[in-house]
Amino acid sequence: DLDSNELTGTLSPSFANLMELQILFLDNNMMSGTLPSEMGQMDLLRFLRLDRNDFSGSIPDEWASLSELRVLFLNNNPGITGTVPAFLSTMTDMQQLSLFDTGISGSIPTELGQLTEMVNLFLHFTDLTGTMPQEICDLRTSGALNFLTADCAGDNPKVQCSQPDCCAVCF
């Protein structure tokens, strides 16, 4: 647990050498640079918090092999761009995904509705647009997904919710 330690610099690709690591909390520091693709080799990683830093670039495709991931917090990194990777839907144990206050854009992948273990999904303060997939709304109405946030408020929201109670909070 290295959160809130005023750490600076970049996240070294050599972190991938920690093959047995299951929990990595580097949130609330002053780290920067791109997210290392090499971290995709950490296939036992279950909890990854890189939120509240200054990381940039897109979520690496190599992270698709993080099949044990249950928690991924990348929020409060405005420099993180690209789209929400569809491969996140293969992380069947994912319980919390936080991408708010990033530069993530595009549409919300329908495939995220396959994450039946998802409890919290935070997608507000992004550049996501379009309609919240019905499959994700179905997780809310079934009671599986407890909290869902998106930019769905106002006269011209960036994200349209297909049913009134789909998003728990609209910004």
Mean predicted lDDT score pLDDT of the chain: 94
Phi-psi domain of 166 (left: phi exceeds 0; alpha: psi -120 through 50; beta: other): alpha
**Which residues lie closer than 8 Å to 16 by C-beta, 6 or more apart?**
36, 38, 39, 40, 41, 42
Say if residue 162's pLDDT is above 80.
no
Q: How far apart are CA 10 and CA 18, in angstroms?
A: 17
Distances from the Cα of 17 to the Cα of 13, 14, 41, 43, 152, angstroms: 8, 5, 8, 11, 41
Res 86: pLDDT? 93
pLDDT digits (tens, 9 = 90+) for 38-57: 999 999 999 999 999 999 99
Say if residue 125's pLDDT is above 90.
yes
Pairing of strands 71-73, 127-128: unpaired
